[in-house]
Each structure stands twice: as structure tokens, then as C-alpha cells.
Amino acid sequence: MALIWISAVRILSEHITPRIIAMAFPCEGAESIYRNDISEVSAFLNMFHENHFKVFNLCAERTYDPAKLGGNVEWMPFTDHSPAPTEEIFCFCEHAYDWLIADPNNVIVVHCKAGKGRTGLMVCAYLLYSRECSDPVTAIQYYGEKRTKNGKGLTISSQRRYLFYFYDLWKHGPRNLVPLVISRISLYSNVSMKHDIAIQISCNGGNGSFQLNQILDSQHGGCVANLVKEGKNTTFLFSEVRIMGDVRIAVYDARYSGKPIFYFWFNTAFVDGNLFTLASKSELDKPSKVVEEDTKVIVVFSSRLLQKFGRAEVMLGGEGRAMEHITKKLSNINRFLSPVRRY
């Protein structure tokens, strides 16, 4: 992370490309001592990019008066340490592209709270969208090198997973949303816990929204038909848990329901077959210290009910965000982009 001093102006930011700036949240008061002071951010942007900057605020937990940064601020909030729906990733890329293509002097400023994870997801997606990078692995590596000293910029597993989802849609076009029915979730782990494991499942029903609806909490029974424990391995058996779209599954120590020991996200449009497997701790989000490296999670879907419900005739993107429009937009930008165009 660069520490930029211009006279009395101190900004924690980094140019990912000459026209893409990533930074921490612009703050006021005591917090501005170790993050960014919003008045100094304003001074910096007006000094170097007056009337040519657009700010994307990705922070869901807080915001600020857009007028303090000139008014050209777009709020695209999603939760810390979580991915954004692919619909919103495309929306960000399209809005960023439209701003950058409008004037060669225009720049975008992207921030969340620390200016790493959520910022990294959107910036990496745009590096793919604009063909700055050819694939997600390259984009993640490039962003990490530019944004951090240790190369660890986009580290949350589900955020990385959704970057690959975005790339798949960008490269191959829309997918049909699929309603799935979870029959069981198995945890193969040496997790050392003194109490029972609880599990929560939430999804957005495929509407492309940031808002999830909780559809199961194992502590309250509901659709949990049985719980099988063999040593330190645990399997939840469900009578019927129907999901569609973006899904979040969180595992808790049953005694402490506040903070999960790990969680993960996926989208049903990208589930091939009847299994969704996470093969190690590195594929889980924010795993606690009690989770061993060889932890494996397998989500099993019911083949019979898959055939019963069939595949939904809904394009990934939901109503009002038709992916056909995005596909046309992508074809149009090819007229402006060379195989590698640097911003």
C-alpha cells in the first residue's frame, strides 16, 4: 500500500493502473489517523484529477456524504469478507467502463473499508472486463502485487470463486439459474469442538440481490431430518432445503451463534452434477483456528428432486438485469478494446 504525501496531504492508496485507484475508506475524526482523511482524499483527487474522477464506494456497513468528494460517488454496497452477486459485478464493470471511455483523462477510485478484498474483487473483474488481464489467476496476482507488499490482495475464497464465476459469464455468456435441493452436508474434519456444530443456510432466490433470506438454522430444527456424527465427522441430513441463486452456508459452534467457525458462498448456476465440494481449509472463508488444514466440506444435492424441478428458465442476472443486455454490451466494447488495453 502506497503512502502518498503531497504537501500536507497524506493518502493511503495505490494506482492499480494509471486510471484505476484503490484506497481505504475516506474517514472523518479519529479513524482518519490510520485510514484516509476524507478532506485529504478530496484535496488529492481535485489536485490531480479535478472533474475527472468517479468514486465507487463498496462499503455496506457505512457511508459518507458524497458531496465531500465532489458528488460523483456511486454506492454499490456489499458485506465485508463476502462476494458480490455476479449481476452487481457486471454492473460495476459497465459503469466503470462507461466513465473511463467517456474521456481519456477520467479515472475511477474504488474503495471498501480497508480497500483490499471487496475492492480487489471489483478491480480484478474490471481488469478482465477491459482485457488488462487475460484470466482470473493473472488478475489476482497482478492486483496483489500492485495493492499490497506481500501480494495478498484478494484472499477471501468466495470472493475469488465469484471472480471465476464472473469470468465464466464474461467469456461464455449467460447461464440458466438452477433450483437445487440440498439433501445433506458433510463435514470431514478434525475440528476440535467441545460443543455441537450448528449450520445456517441463506440464499437470495436468484434475484441478484445483496439481501439473503435465511432458510435454515439447524439449532431450530426445521428441515434437519437427522444429524449423524462419526468421530469428528458430521453429516446433516435434510428433508428438503430448496435453494436458488447465491447461497451462503455458515458453520457455528452451537454454543456461540455469533461468529461462524467458517462459511462459504456459491451460486447454483455453477453447480455441475449433484456435489459442491470444498477440499481444504484454504477454500473456506475466514476459518477459525479450530479448523484443520485437511477439512473438507461436501454439499450433496438430491438427484430425484433436481429432475422433478428441472432447470429454471431464468437467466443468471434476474429480472431487470437481463444478461442478454450485458452480452450485447460486451460485444460492443470489442470495437474499442485491443487484445490488451491498459487503463
Do residues 21 and 103 share a domain?
A: yes
Residue 320 falls inside a structural domain? no
Q: Could you tell me the residue range of the domain that residue 7 belongs to?
A: 2-172
- Stretch 260-284: mean pLDDT, rounded? 95
pLDDT tens, 88-105? 999 999 999 999 999 999
Of residues 4 and 34, more confidently modeled: 34
**For 145-159, 281-295, 296-310, which range has the lowest pLDDT when averaged over its residues?**
296-310
Q: Are residues 190 and 292 in the same domain?
A: yes
What are the tens digits of pLDDT across the range 184-211?
Answer: 999 998 665 556 778 899 999 988 887 8
Q: Which of 165, 299, 317, 284 is CA-nearest to residue 241?
A: 299
Distance between CA 287 and CA 234 in Å, rounded? 17
Answer yes or no: is 314 within a domain: no
Which pLDDT score is estimated for 284? Answer: 97
Pair 156, 266 in one domain: no
152 lies in the same domain as 230 = no
More confidently predicted of 29 and 130: 130
Q: Is residue 342 part of a domain?
A: no
* Residues 41, 46, 50: CA angle, nearest 5 degrees: 140
> Which of 212-216, 264-268, 272-276 shows the lowest mean pLDDT across its residues?
212-216
Active site (annotated) includes residue 91 = no
Looking at the structure, do residues 305 and 192 belong to the same domain, yes or no? Answer: yes
Assess whether pLDDT exceeds 80 at residue 312. no
Reduced to 3 states (helix: H, G, I; strand: E, B; else coil), residue 319 is coil
Q: What CATH number should be reported for the domain holding residue 87?
A: 3.90.190.10
Residue bearing the bigger pLDDT, 288 or 189? 288
Pair 93, 143 in one domain: yes
Instruction: Answer yes or no: do 300 and 194 share one domain.
Output: yes
Q: Among 27, 59, 93, 112, which one carries the catalytic annotation?
A: 112
Q: Model confidence over 12-40: pLDDT tens digits?
A: 578 999 999 999 999 887 665 667 889 99
Final residue in a domain of this structure, among 146, 172, 198: 172
Long-range contacts of 328-336 (CB under 8 A, 24+ apart): 329/94, 330/170, 333/97, 333/101, 336/101
Same domain membership, residue 136 and residue 228? no
Let me know whether 159 and 232 are in one domain.
no
- The percent of residues in the chain predicted with pLDDT above 90, rounded, is 59
Predicted local distance difference test score (pLDDT) of residue 149: 87
Asked if residue 186 and residue 111 are part of one domain, the reply reads: no
In this predicted model, which residue has the larger pLDDT, 59 or 32?
Answer: 59
Max mean pLDDT range (32-36, 116-120, 332-336): 116-120
272 shares a domain with 237: yes
| Of residues 250, 268, 243, 241, the one with CA closest to residue 86 | 268
275 and 228, same domain (yes or no): yes
Domain count, the chain: 2
Torsion angle defined by CA atoms of residues 201, 202, 206 and 209, in that order, rounded to the nearest 10 degrees: -160
